[in-house]
Structure formats: structure tokens, C-alpha cells
Amino acid sequence: MDLNGSQMVIEALRREDVKTVFGYPGGAIMNVYDEIYKQNDFEHILTRHEQAAIHAADGYARASGDVGVAFVTSGPGFTNAVTGLANAYIDSIPMVVISGQVPITMIGTDAFQEIDAVGISRPCVKHNYLVKDVKDLPRILKEAFYIARSGRPGPVHVDIPKDVTAQSAKFVYTESITMKTYKPTYKGNKRQIKKVVDAIADADKPILYIGGGAVNSNASELVREFAKVTGIPAVETLMARGVLGDDNPLLLGMVGMHGCYSANMGMSEADLMIAFGPRFDDRVTGKLSEFAKHAKVIHVDIDPSSIGKIVDIDYPIVGDLKNVLTDMLPLVKEKIDSKKYQSWRDLLKRYDEIHPLGYSDDKGNIKPQWVIARVGELLGDKAIISTDVGQHQMWTAQFYPFSRPRQFVTSGGLGTMGFGFPAAIGVKKAKPEKISINISGDGSILMNIQELMTAYESKIPVINIILNNGYLGMVRQWQTFFYDKRYASTDLSGAQPDFVKLAESFGGLGFRVETKEEFDEALEKAVKSNVVCMIDVNVDRLEDVLPMVPAGGTLYNMILEHKG
Amino acid sequence: MATTTQNNDIRRVLSVIVTNEDGVLSRISGLFAGRGYNIDSLTVAPVPKTDFSRLTIVTCGNEKVLEQIVKQLHKLIPTYKVIESGEFVEKEMALVKIPLDEDFNGLDAMLKAYNGTIANSGADFIVVMVADNAKRIDNFLQAINKYNPVDIVRSGSVAMDV
Ligand SMILES: Cc1ncc(C[n+]2csc(CCOP(=O)(O)OP(=O)(O)O)c2C)c(N)n1
Ligand SMILES: [Mg+2]
């Protein structure tokens, strides 16, 4: 079958069973858009900024586990997309992003809207391609999807010159694919797995350190079983929230800079750390020389380069966590007696009683934490929660009762303000039966505010809850603690939009909330409205995210109290 | 092949087999630059009768860094193989241009000692070439200084595992 380059793109998406794509057109990608117009296999959502298109595809991928797809044009279209690529790359999110490029005959001439796109995206993607010959395009598209979703997932960028999108060639799209130079390891080494089980059986104070890999591997059922069988207390990273489920008695909570006291103490005092797919981010480890000082470390990860990168590993296992746990569980059941760790569990429980995660509620002011907990009470599992970046993000991670993985969509590694709203748009397209909520800040929400138009036009009823503290709150918090309260460029209270009118002017609904009753009412109306909403909640301005491990500090030295 | 230098950095020769395709060299050099790894020398050429290229990279760093370099190289999609250990035959070439008005006393003996020859001779200069391991090339270039060379070109190491 002969197809032109644009038709090849459409056909490849059809074969990959893509149902929704996000994008923004322009000169170099117009041939492809012309074919998008002619087809009915997938829906194209026009965002109002390319960054938002990539974040929406990213949110779609996080909520569904499928590959997210986005289109942008050359030059500024592509450069606008770069933050989105970097964001997905560092969080290991499977995506295929297709950009237009100037015709091959013009590459290298500084043509109109020409930029070295693959040169720019190279450090922000798992792999990229500049398509030089239309004959290669089917293979490249096949590889792009395969690479994006296999091994450690990640975004793949395909840059297609305009002339290639018009030229024709034979379309051969194989069912399966093998690549000579890319063969991820899925099976863990059996002997090593045995050794690991013995090490666990020998330990007195083991701790389970669960990372985003557990989500990507779709291994949460097995991780839950592992925890249950062994009785080993567990911590989750930001990326792993929901893996064990909020009501799991073994879950101490989130670990790291804003992790809870018992989780961080557990990490510090353990004699064996069992790491399932985390990447030892500095926001988790704190000062490395003090991290897991008394512990032997087991690390299961599908990416060999992740193992031993930050922390020396005593028991490395390269493999897909799901496979490794499938092999490990029978041995675990045979050899490990959960009673052995009772006193360790008791100790950690005591830690939790001494310094539980909490906040002091207030009758007058709405506390931001209250809002999150309240959304959790009212919507619980019915909602998927995206966030922007800042204090509101950390409070969401701490206080929302996540009951399953993929229920929390947040920018972990890059910490991208502006991620939440477009991501929540992607989430809603992936899981239309769920309520898609973006918990945002008065700073972050303005970084992709134009997506109100997308959400309105494409009937994607995202509910934005703005925890409005009139500050770039997270930066303000650091200024309070470490800069003698010199609030350089963080006070936003002097100039704020009227978020209600703003939402209305885009065709959505806006609510201004000053009291708890008003919040309940607004949320109820928003859920029923079926249109994009903004709930602007006036919250206590100077609340801090606690506990806090200062950057580079040790996990067991947490700041536990507000600095008045 | 590893030797330790003063600051505990280990010199290492890596032989990397990659798909011979556009942009592969910039993936590798970008990886080194982006992660702050050292490149002492780098050579590239196609592997005959295949669609692969071989890069010979001489790098240095501590054990942990070198382990990461190898893993990160593996992680690149076009990387087929990274050969890092075992025995290598390692050779580097150098070209040296010397003005004809120098006194060439002893040059012949020196060239002999380093497998060298005279590669070219013109109206004003001669060009000598030597091929040897990198350390010996260092020594040769030290010694040849006495003839006041006006230009020196080193090829970077190539290596073959044996
Ligand atoms: C694109 C981008 N720019 C800057 C930052 C640095 N930064 C991190 S949190 C933050 C404040 C966010 O303010 P807001 O959205 O109001 O959230 P709050 O912390 O007040 O809840 C800033 C500026 C960032 N993470 N991302
Ligand atoms: Mg704020």
C-alpha cells in the first residue's frame, strides 16, 4: 500500500489504537493536519499553547498508562513543546510527539521557522528522529511507539520535514518489532532474587521504598501483596502515591523533603531498604552520606543506569518490577515470617503517634490542607487529582486519600508550574468517567490559563481548585525559613485577576470561596456543572508545608513547626 | 585497560559499537557534555561490512563515574555494545612537522624507537609520523621538541579488543 508521509502518520496512529491526540497546527505540519481533518479514527484536541498539548498528552498517559500523542509545528511550535518533553522524560512518561520541520531541501539554511529540533530535544527525550526519507517513516513511527512504552518508558520525538509529509512510499507496519540495539531486560536474575529474599529474611528492620517504577510497571497489586505477606512497613515517593492505597496499615506515608516523620525515620533507621522502582531523587534522600546509613540496599529497576547512580546498591536487580515480584513472591511466602518485624512496626507506629502528619484547623481561615482533605472526603476515588507545583502540590500529596495508582498526576522530577491544568485535560480525555480535578496555586494557574478555552471548546469539564494564598507560596516558605523573611518577588496579593470573571469570560464557571460551607457548595455545583470550572479558595496565607527537610539536610532532622 | 592518574581518576579506553546513522555522534558527545564526563580523545569510523560504527573513547573518572558512563552509553538507543574491559591493543598516531633547517642529528634513531617514519618532505619542512600507544606518543612528543616542531597532530586512540 502506497501512502504519503501524512497518511502514514494517521495510519500508524490507527494501528497503535490511538484515540485522542493533542496539538497545535502551523505551516510545517499542515499536510498532516489535512489528513487529521479527513479521518475519524481519533479525536484531535486543539490546545491553546503547544506546552499545554504536550502536558495534556502527558496527563493522558499518566492516567491511562497508554502512550500520549501530540503534534506541533516547526520552530516556535516545537520550542514551546520542549518543557513538556523534559517534564515527561524525567518522570518516565510514554509519549510520542510529532513535530513539523522545514523541507529537507531547506534544512540548514536558517529558513523561516527552522530550528534544530532534534538537537534541542536530544537531552529531553528517550529517543528522537529526524525523518530524512519517507521510506523510513513507517519503521520510525513503529519504533517510536515501541521505544516510548517499553523498558523504562519515556517520550520519543519524531521531527518530519514538510516535503517528507507529502512524498509517497510503501507503507509497511509490522505487528511486532525487535531492534538490534535496544533490548530492555524484563526478567530479574533468579539467583539474585533468591539472595534478596534471604537478605529480607535476615533483616530486623526492613523498609519498603516504593517509587514511580511501581506505577509504570503496573505492579501495584503485587507490591500490595508483597507488603501484606511480609508485613514490612512502607514509604511512597511523590510519584508512587496510591500504589499501596491510603488505608493500607503498612503505609507510613510519603518520604522525603515533605515526607512524614515516621516515613523519614523509618528510612533512616532501617537495616534493609527494599527499593521498588524509585530513583533516589535528592528530594527524597537528603544528605547522601547520612541516607540509609545503617541499611543494606536492594534496588529493583528496569533501567540499569538508575541502579547505583546515586547510592551504592548491595543487591541490584535489573528487571520489570512486575516480573521480579512474580518470581519473588513464592519465595517470600515460603521464607519470611511477618511476625519478625513486629517490634519494628511498633516503633514506627510510635514515631507516627509522636509526630503525626497534620495541621491545626481554624474556624475563621480556610486552611489549604483542609480543602484537600475535604475534596478527598467528598470525592475520594471518584476523582483523579492533578496538581501544579508548589505548596498546594505537597499538601495534595500529603493529605489526599489516594486509593490507587494513576490517581495522582503531578510533575515530580521537573516540578513544572503550569503542568496541572493541561494535564487534567488529558486525564479527563483518558478517564471520562472520573472527575478530573486540578489543585493549583494562584501562581501556577496563570502559567497555562489559556487552556480554559480548550476545556470549554472541547467540552472537557476540568475543575480547577486554586488554593489562593496570594504568594508564590513554596518560594515564600523558603524565604521565611532561610532568607529572613525577605519576600523577594513572591507576594502576589497586590495584583490578582478576578478568577470568577476570568472563568466566565472563557465560557466556564467561577466560584469565589471564603468559608468552608461555600467550598462544599461550590464543589458540588462544579461537579454537577459539566463545564470547566475555577474555584478560587481564599486560604490562610502563611501556612507552611511541614515537616520539612531543608535541601541537603538529613532525613531524620525535620523541621516540624511553623516559623511564626 | 585502566591506569590510575594523580587525582585518583582512572583512565579508561571504551570501544563503543553503534548503529551508523545520522546524529549518533552528537548523542554520544552530548551525553558526555551534559553529564560532565571527560573525553580525552574520541575517534569514529565505520565497522567494515556492517551497518555499525566503532567509537573509541578515552575517558577518565573514578570507578563510580566510569560505571555510569558505561551504563549511560548502553542506554542510548543506537548503542549495540560497549566494550570496556579485557585486553585492548591500543594505538594512536601523531604527525609532526619539523622545519628543514633543523639539525636532524639523532632523528632517525628516535623514529626507529617509536615505529616512526618520514611521511612527507617538502621544500621547507619534513613531516614525520609515529604510531604507538598513547603514553609512548606522549614520550615521543616530549623528545621531538628538541627539533622545534611547528605543528603536531594527534589522531586520538583506536583500540581493538584481543
Ligand atoms: C515554571 C516554573 N517556574 C518557577 C518555579 C519555581 N517555583 C516552585 S514553587 C513556586 C511557587 C508556586 O506558587 P503557587 O502556584 O501560587 O503555589 P503555592 O506554593 O503558593 O501553593 C515557584 C515559583 C517552578 N517550579 N516552575
Ligand atoms: Mg500561591
Residues B155 and B134 reside in one and the same domain: yes
pLDDT of residue B69: 96
The DSSP 8-state label assigned to residue A483 in this structure reads S
Domain with B63 in it: what CATH number?
3.30.70.260
- Which is it for the CA torsion A15, A16, A22, A26, positive or negative? negative
Question: Which contacts qualify for A515-521: CB closer than 8 Å, 24 or more apart?
Answer: A515/A366, A516/A366, A516/A370, A516/A374, A519/A366, A519/A371, A519/A374, A520/A374, A520/A378
A178 at interface of B, judged by CB pairs closer than 8 A:
no
- Please report residues of A whose CB lies closer than 8 A to that of B36: none
Banded pLDDT at B6 (limits 50, 70, 90): low
Range(s) of the domain holding residue B115: 89-161
Residues B54 and B93 reside in one and the same domain: no
Banded pLDDT at A315 (limits 50, 70, 90): very high
Q: What are phi and psi of A416, to 5 degrees?
A: -90, 105
Residues B81 and B98 reside in one and the same domain: no
Domain with B140 in it: what CATH number?
3.30.70.1150
Stretch A83-106: mean pLDDT:
98
Domain boundary at B66, B86, B106, which?
A: B86
- Over the stretch A385-423, which tens digit does the pLDDT of each residue have? 999 999 999 999 999 999 999 999 999 999 999 999 999
pLDDT of residue B55: 96
Stretch A507-532: mean pLDDT:
98
Sorted by sequence, the CB contacts under 8 Å of residue A29 that are 6+ apart come out as A23, A71, A72, A73, A74, A77, A98, A99, A100, A160, A162, A165
Domain boundary at B60, B86, B112, which?
A: B86
Is the pLDDT confidence value at B4 over 80?
no
A27 touches A39 (CB < 8 A): no
d(CA A475, CA A489): 9
Is the pLDDT confidence value at B8 over 90?
no
Give the SS3 label for residue A200: helix
Is the pLDDT confidence value at B2 over 80?
no
Is the pLDDT confidence value at A115 over 80?
yes
Domain boundary at B53, B86, B119, which?
A: B86
- Over the stretch A29-57, which tens digit does the pLDDT of each residue have? 999 999 999 999 999 999 999 999 999 99
The pLDDT > 70 percentage for chain B reads 96
B79 touches B57 (CB < 8 A): no
CA of A441 from ligand 2 middle (Å) equals 4
Stretch A285-302: mean pLDDT:
96
d(CA A508, CA A525): 12
Residues B104 and B45 reside in one and the same domain: no
- Bridge partners, A384 (sequence order): A436
Residues B48 and B18 reside in one and the same domain: yes
Residue A478 neighbours by CB distance under 10 Å: 16
A522 touches A375 (CB < 8 A): no
Residues B43 and B100 reside in one and the same domain: no
Before A547, cis peptide (omega within 30)?
yes
ipTM exceeds 0.90, yes or no: yes
- Over the stretch A345-376, which tens digit does the pLDDT of each residue have? 999 999 999 999 999 998 889 999 999 999 99
Residues B45 and B67 reside in one and the same domain: yes
A308/B67 Cβ within 8 A: yes
d(CA A386, CA A407): 8
The pLDDT > 70 percentage for chain A reads 100
Stretch A469-475: mean pLDDT:
98
Residues B71 and B105 reside in one and the same domain: no
For B26, the closest of A122, A182, A303 (CB atoms) is: A122
Closest CA–CA distance from residue B71 to any residue of chain A (Å): 5
Residue A402 catalytic? no
Residues B76 and B122 reside in one and the same domain: no
Estimate to the nearest angstrom the gap between the alpha carbon of B78 and the chain centroid.
22
d(CA B116, CA A234): 66
E-assigned strands of chain B? 2-4, 10-19, 41-46, 52-61, 79-83, 88-99, 117-121, 125-132, 151-161
Is the pLDDT confidence value at A101 over 70?
yes
Residue A335 catalytic? no
Banded pLDDT at B42 (limits 50, 70, 90): very high
A181 at interface of B, judged by CB pairs closer than 8 A:
yes
The number of distinct structural domains making up chain B is 2
Q: What are phi and psi of A466, to 5 degrees?
A: -95, 115
Residues B82 and B121 reside in one and the same domain: no
A439 touches A467 (CB < 8 A): yes
CA separation, residue A311 to residues A107, B61, B83 (Å): 44, 17, 25
Residues B32 and B52 reside in one and the same domain: yes
pTM of the predicted protein model = 0.96
Closest CA–CA distance from residue A180 to any residue of chain B (Å): 7
Estimate to the nearest angstrom the gap between the alpha carbon of A84 and the chain centroid.
12
Residues B74 and B99 reside in one and the same domain: no
Banded pLDDT at B87 (limits 50, 70, 90): confident
Range in A162-166, A321-325, A428-432, B108-112 the model is least confident about: B108-112
Stretch B81-90: mean pLDDT:
87
Domains detected in chain A: 2-170 (3.40.50.970), 190-354 (3.40.50.1220), 368-538 (3.40.50.970)
